[in-house]
Amino acid sequence: MQIAIISGSTLGGAEYVAERLADELGEQGFSCDLLAGPQLSEVNAAVWLIVTSTHGAGELPDNLKPFYQQVAASDTDFSQLRYAIVGLGNSDYDTFCYAVRHLENLLAEKGAQRLCDSLKIDVINVDDHEQYAADWLPNFTATLAD
């Protein structure tokens, strides 16, 4: 099974998490494409694991905005797409992990199937973001056999 791990990051934290998840999934026998801020045309897998930070006032990182806009503008049938999202944010802001919310809403509108609850990592209260995401990963992989 091919998994596209799509990351959007401003300061690099989400990319580190994405890399760790790619390593973990690889060790479990999954084939992963690790894509930082890709174009929609570069993503060929039917399973997406999106790892994104929230930037500014609840926005997607700049390197993920074009991808989001391409998905929004696409007339592709996304009903066979299965996905999960890992978000990083700061709970001191009322827009905590809004990038996750934006992506969930868009993919739901497009008919994609969410595999499991999104993980929202509070960078203020979680010291090891990569390990926290790795600990969540079984929630994602358990759904892949379905």
Tokens at 46, concatenated: 């039917």
- Distance between CA atoms of residues 124 and 131, nearest Å: 15
Mean pLDDT for the chain? 96
Contact 23, 54 (CB under 8 A): no
pLDDT tens for each residue of 127-143: 999 999 999 999 999 99
55/79: higher pLDDT: 79
Name all domains of the chain by residue range, CATH numbers in brackets: 2-145 (3.40.50.360)
pLDDT of residue 108: 97
